Structure 1
Amino acid sequence: MRIPNIIGLVRRLIWLAILAFALLVLFAWLKPGREDMPWTPLSLSDPIGMSTGRKVARLTGDRDGCIALLETSGLEFDALEPQGNDQCRVEDAVRLDGGQELLAMTPRSVAPSCPVMIGMLIWQNQVVQQHAQEIFGQRVARIETLGSFSCRRMYGRSEGAWSEHATADAIDIGAFVLEDGTRISVLGDWADESDVGESEKARFLRQVRDGACDLFSTVLSPEYNAAHADHFHFDMADRGEMGWRACR
């Protein structure tokens, strides 16, 4: 009886060695950077990688860690005191302080959660400005938001799941204004996919929407439903390392 057991053990060890070798080859082929590794700390200077969005979402519930990271950005901001109760408890809201170009978000009174603010910062610098330069040859001077905190359930229903807006873990984006004053609005410039190639504004909106999907847990656009005809919805719902992500 001992010989078959030994043979079985040897076979398992051989298969484990083959699997380990295959994983090593795959790892070497992919050559992931630190931004792709789920166990490395998030750095605002890293490019967007496979794990960036989940690292930002993990900051939900880590108020001190998130604010410490935001302080490395150079942004001037106010960390607001926790407020609200129950499902509408906001623990980590932050608000931009004064005029600055590091994050061209208006109105200045909007106060999303710290993870959302970090997501917005990375998205503007690595997605929005890049595509604005490529398509229009100039930067975005202002990102117009439609608010963050709203103590309500999803779609304003009287029952059902609570919206991420209830904890300020979401933000709605309505338009972008270029340096020359050109305004690009979700309501006015979004186009059907077949017409995107004919409009620079529509192409820009598609690209910045797609780029947001690598950062935020949920990204909803006019392509999702009529309720989002005039804005993008971004949120940082923390659904765990293997949690689902929505991009529509």
Structure 2
Amino acid sequence: MQGPPRPPLTIASEPDDEHQACLKALTAIGATFKEIARIDDGNGCGIGKPIALSSPLPGIEFKPEGQMRCEAALALAQWMKESVIPSAAALDNGKIVTINQASTYVCRLRNNASTGKISEHARGNAIDVASFTFENGKTIVIEPRREDPTLTGAFQRAASASACLYFTTVLDPESDAAHESHFHLDVIERNGGFRYCH
């Protein structure tokens, strides 16, 4: 027996006042971005009010430019400003000049699976950070560093731990094989404000 047809997945609505407040905060923090046309790729993939982010903070490039919801970009900028940049000061590599991202908006299921739940990347809520490049030319790649006793290991662990103050999901190289080479950061809303940090 077949039940009623499931309603088609739709793009989450973004209240205009919240979106405008977010754009204002993103501008005030010094991000470089542009508003782009609504993205609707069907099956619930898309962003109602997307932006293309090229720099979350003055002097820091986001490469390649990424499409996402304003809320994800603002969380990235705040995390960088308040946690990652201060932590990086101990490394003696100079300032962070580039965040190298592996994925922002893309229409796919979680972990690129063929069945299952839609990824937060498909809603514009997620950013995968692969590495940070510093002004001295050094790049710190995100990789398993739980036992790494160096300053680089401490920096990555601090960045991962602090990300959960800004994002509602944080998956790092210690979480599973699918995340060995990046931080997955997203702003999915869960019941009761629950956060998943691993």
- TM-score, reference length from structure 2: 0.83
Q: Which of the pair is proportionally richer in helix?
A: 1
Q: Percent identity?
A: 26
> What's the CA shift for 1:130?
0.2
Counterpart of 2:176 (choices 218, 225, 247) is 225
In structure 2, which of residues 154, 173, 176 is the aligned counterpart of residue 203 of structure 1?
A: 154
User: Which of the numbers 77, 81, 89 marks the counterpart of 2:46?
Assistant: 89
For structure 1, the 5+ residue unaligned runs are 1-58
What one-letter code is carried by the residue in structure 1 that aligns with 2:193? Answer: G
Q: 1:144-194: per-residue Cα shift (whole Å, max 9, x none)?
A: 11120111111222322111000111000000111111111013xx32x3x
Partner of 1:162: 118
Deviations 1:193-245 (A, max 9, x none): 3x332x221111111011101110000011100110101000000124x2321
Report SS of the residue matched to 2:66: coil
Partner of 1:177: 133
- Computing the radius of gyration from Cα coordinates, the structure with the larger value is 1
Distance (Å, rounded) in 1 between the aligned partners of 2:53 and 2:196: 28
Answer yes or no: is the 8 Å Cα contact 2:45–2:123 preserved in 1. Answer: yes
Of the candidates 64, 82, 107, which is equivalent to residue 126 of structure 1? Answer: 82
Matched-pair contact (CA < 8 Å) for 2:47–2:68:
no
- Residue 39 of structure 2 aligns to a residue whose secondary structure is coil
Count how many residue pairs are aligned between Structure 1 and Structure 2: 183
My pick for the range that moved more, 215-224 or 84-93, is 84-93
Alignment of 1:74-113 (within 5 A): 74-84=30-40, 85-96=42-53, 102=58, 104-113=60-69
The gaps in structure 2 that reach 5 residues or longer are 1-12
The answer to whether residue 190 in structure 2 is matched with residue 239 in structure 1 is: yes
Report the secondary structure of 1:116's partner residue.
Answer: helix
**Separation in structure 1 between the aligned mates of residue 19 and residue 58 of structure 2, nearest angstrom:** 21
Higher mean C-alpha deviation, range 115-124 or range 62-71: 62-71
**Cα 1:114/1:76, change in 2 over 3 Å:** same
**Partner SS for 1:166:** helix
The separation in 1 between residues aligned to 2:91 and 2:132, in whole angstroms, is 14
**Is contact 1:67-1:79 (8 Å) kept?**
no
What is the alpha-carbon distance in structure 1 between the residues aligned to residue 56 and residue 167 of structure 2?
23
Other structure's SS at 2:58 match: coil
Aligned to 1:27: none
Judging changes above 3 Å, is the alpha-carbon distance between structure 1 residues 224 and 125 closer, same or farther for their aligned structure 2 residues?
same
Q: What is residue 55 of structure 1 aligned with on the other side?
A: none
- TM normalised by structure 1 equals 0.67
Are the equivalent residues in 2 in contact too, given 1:123–1:212 (CA < 8 A)? yes
Q: What's the C-alpha RMSD, in Å, of the aligned pairs?
A: 2.2
Question: Which protein is richer in strand relative to its size?
Answer: 2
Alpha-carbon distance in 1 for matches of 2:128, 2:177: 15
Q: 1:163 to 1:103 in 2, by over 3 A?
A: farther
CA contact (8 A) 2:31 2:77 kept: no
Following superposition, the deviation at residue 60 of structure 1 comes to 5.9
